[in-house]
Amino acid sequence: MRALTIGRYQPFHKGHMNVIWEISDVVDEIVIGIGSAQISHELDNPFTAGERVAMIRRTLELNGFKGMSYIIPIEDIQRNSIWTSHLESMTPPFDIVYSNNPLVVRLCKEEGYEVRHPPLFKRDEYSGTEIRRRMIEDERWTHLVPEGTLEVIDEVDGVQRLKDIVREED
């Protein structure tokens, strides 16, 4: 069985990683969709699709992920009624969807998919919004992302990028 999960992964964090590990206990293959793929260099979406692919790929590898995974950027479209077709056009066929996003859940259910809700891990800390806030405010955040993701953020000077974006928006 092949499952789809989707997030923006700005950045990929340990909550996301836990979800992927839990799903892979249940299914044979996992499709990881990177949402809002076309957006980067913005306060809520600092990283490019390619950088997010690298975060996830390296994290899976460094942590010895055993399952089969496909990491696929998915651009937004402005028409929710055909979003699942758009999604399906970019991914291998999947049988089941893991999501807590109300719109994703609704659209996938309407299309006939079984939707499961992955449990949230330490949501107060394992949160993209919280991690970006900490990066900007020079608070401790590195323990909230997996090692492979940390490497990619360092490589692209991600924290400085975020701080520059904040300054430019002032």
Cβ–Cβ < 8 Å for 40, 48: yes
Give least dist CB 170 to ligand ATP, A. 21
Residue type, 20: I
Give least dist CB 98 to ligand ATP, A. 7
Give least dist CB 6 to ligand ATP, A. 7
Give least dist CB 157 to ligand ATP, A. 20
Smaller CB separation from ligand ATP, 78 or 129: 129
Smaller CB separation from ligand ATP, 34 or 58: 34
Rounded CA separation 17/59 (Å):
8
Give the count of beta carbons closer than 10 Å to the beta carbon of residue 124.
7
Q: What are phi and psi of 127, to 5 degrees?
A: -150, 130
Smaller CB separation from ligand ATP, 9 or 141: 9
Three-state DSSP at 29 gives strand
Residue 102 tokens read as: 């109300």
Smaller CB separation from ligand ATP, 50 or 118: 118
Smaller CB separation from ligand ATP, 48 or 101: 101
Cβ–Cβ < 8 Å for 29, 67: yes
Q: What residues form DSSP beta bridges with 123? A: none
Rounded CA separation 41/36 (Å):
12
Which residues bind to ligand ATP, rule: CB under 6 A? 7-10, 15-16, 18-19, 99-101, 118, 120-123, 126-129
Rounded CA separation 16/19 (Å):
5
Give least dist CB 121 to ligand ATP, A. 4
